[in-house]
Every structure is written in C-alpha cells, then in structure tokens.
C-alpha cells in the first residue's frame, strides 16, 4: 500500500513537467512552453512498496485549447538502471528525501502494475488519499491466447505504445479527448476522469488495448 505524504516537493511536479513536456513528440503547445495545472489522475500500488506510481493529468492553459495531457510517473529513492533517457528530473521530498522521477512508461514496475490493472488483478487507487480505491477509473479487457514477441516503449506524435498483456500492445493516450470512441479493434481499455479549466469534469479513455500485429 502506497502512503500519500502531504508535504513539499522541490521542484514541484508541475515545474518539472513544464520543462519536460515540450521535449515530447506528442506535445501540442507552442514554443513559449506550457502553463500547467493539475487536473486529475490516479495511482497504483507497488507490491514491494518501493516505487511510487501515479497517472497524472495536467491541463496546459497556455492557449484556448486547454490541452489535457496524461503523464504516468514513477518515484524512486535511487536511479533506475539504464533509464537515464526516461528521467524527468530529481526533487527533494519533505519526508522521503531525494526522489528520482521518471516517465513511468519506461519503468518495469509501472508496466507490471498497469498490466495487472488491465487484467483486473489490482484496483486503481485515489490520487490523493491513502488506501482508497478510485471508482472513477474503469477498465475492461478480453484476453487473447495469441503469443507475440516482446516490444519496447515508443513515443510518436499521437502518444505512447507500450507492452501490454500477452499478445497485445497498449496505446497510451497522452492527449486526452472527452468521450472519445474506442477503436473497433480494441480488446480493452482504461477510462478515467479529469477536470477542465472551468471546473467541470471530462470522461474518456486513458489507454486502449490492441492485438499485437
């Protein structure tokens, strides 16, 4: 069970993401950079209790589009081997000390727990409250018996492709769209909610599951 510490983080997550988001191929903002505000998300628990796992939604209010981005993050007490390319930054946590913050799509602990979520083995947790399931995050999945070679994690202009349950790949929707329809070939999804800048709630897919081609 992850314990949520209500304390300081320096620099803040939003400050780190302000510098990191413009380096991503799926970033839609301008050269002036984003103006970010937290908009929602959820957490997963690391069974070993060592790695923090958060799926964070942020609104970029730098223009009239107010684009919502999904950013999976992992928080570690030491660097992750061979993952320097996925490091978003380091920060000082008021309770835990130095934390290494990664793009969680490249962290094997997040991949394992996300797969467990899709398969229905674990529950999504509230973003800000310890030991509290989040009923607003829903999932479905139709298992396949197909086998496929392992794939890596890749970013493109639409989002991130990463490994899923056996025989599948995941399409992480980095740019979120309200009530977006699921692709007809999708065999599963994780759906959540986030807040618009005006305070109303949006609802749509965070990721979809696809048969591996």
Q: What are the extents of the domains in the chain?
A: 9-211
Q: Which residues contact 35 (CB under 8 A, 6 or more apart)?
A: 60, 61, 62
Which pLDDT score is estimated for 66? 87
Which pLDDT score is estimated for 107? 96
Q: What are phi and psi of 104, to 5 degrees?
A: -65, -15
Instruction: Give mean pLDDT, residues 184-195.
Output: 95
Query: Is the predicted pLDDT of residue 130 greater than 90, yes or no?
Result: no
- What distance in Å separates the CA atoms of residue 189 and residue 183, rounded to the nearest whole number? 10
CB atoms within 10 A of CB 213: 6
Query: Is the predicted pLDDT of residue 150 greater than 90, yes or no?
Result: no
Question: What mean pLDDT, rounded, does the chain reach?
Answer: 92
Which pLDDT score is estimated for 2? 65
Q: Sorting pLDDT into bands at 50, 70 and 90, what band is 94?
A: confident
Extract the tokens encoding 153.
């994690």
C-alpha distances in angstroms, 137 versus 1, 49, 146, 161, 164?
18, 22, 27, 20, 18
Query: Is the predicted pLDDT of residue 80 greater than 70, yes or no?
Result: yes
Instruction: Give mean pLDDT, residues 119-134.
Output: 93
- 82-108 burial by CB neighbour count: b if 16+ within 10 A, else e? ebeebbbeebebeeeeebbbbbbbbbe
Residue with the bigger pLDDT between 20 and 144: it is 20
Which pLDDT score is estimated for 192? 97
Which pLDDT score is estimated for 89? 97
Write down the pTM of the prediction.
0.94
Which pLDDT score is estimated for 148? 67
Residue with the bigger pLDDT between 93 and 112: it is 112
């Amino acid at each position: 069970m992850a314990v949520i510490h209500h304390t300081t983080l320096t620099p803040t997550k939003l400050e780190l993401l302000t510098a990191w988001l413009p380096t991503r191929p799926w970033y839609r903002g301008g050269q002036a950079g984003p103006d970010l505000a937290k908009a929602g998300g959820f957490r997963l628990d690391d069974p070993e209790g060592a790695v923090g796992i958060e799926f964070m939604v942020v609104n970029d209010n730098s223009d009239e589009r107010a684009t919502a981005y999904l950013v999976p993050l992992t928080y570690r007490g030491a660097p992750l081997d061979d993952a320097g390319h996925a490091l978003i930054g380091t920060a000082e946590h008021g309770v835990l000390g130095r934390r290494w913050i990664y793009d969680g799509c490249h962290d094997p602990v997040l991949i394992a727990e996300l797969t467990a979520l899709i398969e229905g083995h674990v529950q999504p947790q509230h973003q800000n409250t310890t030991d509290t399931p989040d009923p607003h995050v829903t999932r479905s999945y139709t298992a396949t018996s197909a086998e496929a070679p392992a794939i890596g994690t890749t970013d493109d202009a639409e989002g991130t492709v990463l490994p899923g349950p056996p025989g599948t790949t995941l399409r992480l929707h980095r740019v979120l769209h309200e009530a977006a329809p699921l692709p007809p070939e999708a065999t599963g999804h994780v759906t959540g909610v986030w807040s618009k800048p005006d305070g109303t709630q949006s609802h749509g897919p965070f990721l979809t599951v696809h048969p591996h081609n």
